[in-house]
Amino acid sequence: MDAPSSFADAKPKMINGKIVWAGGPSIKQHFALPESIMYYIAKNPSTPEVYKKLIQSCKYFFEKLPLFVAANLNGNNRLCSNEYCDGEYDETCCFYIDFNKLSSKIWITNEIRLYSDDISTFSSLIFPKLFRWNIIELNVINTDIMFNDFRICASFLTDIFIWRSRIINDDGSVVMIDKILEVTSNIKKFYIKFIDNVSMINTAAMKNICKLKSLQNLKSFNLRYIPKIFNVDDLLTFIKAYSNTKIYFSFYGNISEEYKIQLDKLVDTVIKSDLLNCYICYPGENEEKLKIMNARYYRR
């Protein structure tokens, strides 16, 4: 991989951190394969490990595709090479980065974890600089966020966790969960805890969710502290339609006895139908039936 003979006597110059040869591109190499193939290889590394080997073998590959590789991105400025780090504390494995000064793109191999305050900056500054990613997770905890802000990044999100929070419109009205799911076309995991935010659901929400075409990638659907709002038949329709999805429904303590009877019939149907990925719990539930669903849902 030596420079061509015609450039043997040329004197290189360093410009903006790159070696620029007189009369030609910054790096001149002889490869056994055609230039178009080498260019494709340089622009399309299959894995981070392959990319690392390429840039170690020749500077050509880094110049064609300068990447910053990290396991996780926590918030808008904390990168970490340790995929098991949750980034909640100032771990020694984490470091801060100013995306305004970053010229190269970033390859996140594990997870991007965002919080409500990160949404606007992520969409405008960080997302355009992402090369590849696996998971983009949004955590909304004890706060309200605007639907217009959420919608900007909704199509990027794979995992959403909403804890005692709401998503609201400009006029102050609360966005229903079916509208939230409607704009999240790549959603894989959806978790919401309804305590103090029951205004996010109504009797039509689950029926509307069953009609959505945007949940083809859904792997986990977890609703906690559900009040007596959902029609039980709509719950069953959803459970059967997403039999390969891990579904967890837990109901609020003050539901009526009449609703508990309906839920008990739903549980019977789930158990008899061998729907292994569904877990339903509510106060006063039959313990034997709960054990059966528990064993199925948490099976190894």
Q: Which domains does the chain have, with CATH numbers?
A: 136-300 (3.80.10)
CA 55, CA 249: separation in Å to the nearest integer? 49
Token pair for residue 269?
């149907």
| Residue-wise burial string across 57-94, b where 16 or more C-beta atoms lie within 10 A, e elsewhere | ebebbbbbbebebbbbbbbbbbbbeeeebebeeeeeeb
Token pair for residue 139?
């955590």
Q: What's the sign of the alpha-carbon dihedral 50, 61, 2, 19?
A: negative
- Alpha-carbon distances, residue 244 vs 17, 144, 180, 212, 216 (angstroms): 51, 32, 22, 16, 11
Residue 8 is predicted with a pLDDT of 41
More confident: 281 or 123? 281
Out of 4-8, 104-108, 264-268, pick the least confident.
4-8
Token pair for residue 127?
């997302």
Phi-psi region of 23 (alpha: psi -120 to 50; beta: other; left: phi over 0): left
Out of 45-49, 152-156, 177-181, pick the least confident.
152-156
More confident: 35 or 271? 271
pLDDT per position as a tens digit, 38-55 = 899 999 999 999 999 999
Residue 117's nearest CA partner among 180, 156, 74 is 74
pLDDT at position 243 over 80: yes
**pLDDT bracket for residue 252 (50, 70, 90):** confident
